[in-house]
């Protein structure tokens, strides 16, 4: 299982790690109880500052996805985000839908696209 980091991506490095881990959890590739490598190992593999990875892990911990054990890596603690309100969940969806509408897609096409993306996420998890 791999995380892909792209230097040309506009998101900061830590955010790419957060989003990548979340995507793996959502697809079911990362399940509850599975261990992620330590902050030191990931920082060493990427040769980036320890703090960059620590910030990403801390955010995932705060959102309830990870339980960090000092010096022993991190464990996936939940598949569900903790304490995130409905409004906060819907906000990025609304932004994406707005983009699709502005892109000229009609309701049927938008629903088909959403279904297709959901299917892709599930297939990714099943293929493992």
Partner 1 sequence: MSAHTSGEWLLLFCTIAIVIFLAVTFKRRFWDEPLKHGPGFFLGVKVSPGFYEGEGIQWLRRYHTVVLATDSILALAVLAIFASGRWYLFPVWAGGTAVLHTATLQGFTYYTRATLGANPPVHSSVAVPLETRRLSDYISWRVEALIAVITALSWALLLTNGDARIHWNVPVVFTYLILGLLPFKVVVARSSFPLPADRPEEHHRWMKAQRRYWLHVQDSSRWFFIVLLGGYALLHGWHVASANAWPRWLMIGITSAIWLYMAVTIVRGERRLTAMGRDLLPVGSWSTPFRPARLMAPGFAVAFGVWFGGLILLLVFFRH
Rule CB under 8 A: which residues touch partner 1? 1-8, 21, 24, 30, 35-38, 41-42, 44-48, 73
> Of the two residues 3 and 100, which places its CB atom closer to partner 1 in the complex?
3
> Of the two residues 58 and 105, which places its CB atom closer to partner 1 in the complex?
58
> Of the two residues 8 and 116, which places its CB atom closer to partner 1 in the complex?
8
In the complex, the smallest distance separating the C-beta of residue 59 from partner 1, rounded to whole angstroms, is 16
Chain length of the chain: 128
């Amino acid at each position: 299982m791999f995380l892909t980091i792209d230097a040309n991506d506009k998101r900061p490095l830590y955010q790419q790690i957060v989003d990548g881990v979340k995507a793996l959890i959502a697809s079911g590739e990362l399940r509850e109880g599975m261990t992620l490598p330590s902050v030191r190992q990931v920082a060493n593999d990427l040769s980036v500052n320890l703090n960059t990875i620590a910030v990403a892990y801390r955010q995932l911990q705060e959102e309830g996805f990870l339980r960090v054990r000092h010096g022993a890596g991190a464990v996936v603690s939940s598949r569900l985000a903790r304490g995130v309100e409905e409004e906060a969940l819907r906000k990025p969806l609304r932004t994406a839908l707005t983009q699709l509408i502005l892109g000229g897609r009609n309701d049927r096409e938008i629903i088909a696209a959403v279904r297709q993306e959901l299917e892709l996420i599930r297939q990714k998890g099943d293929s493992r």
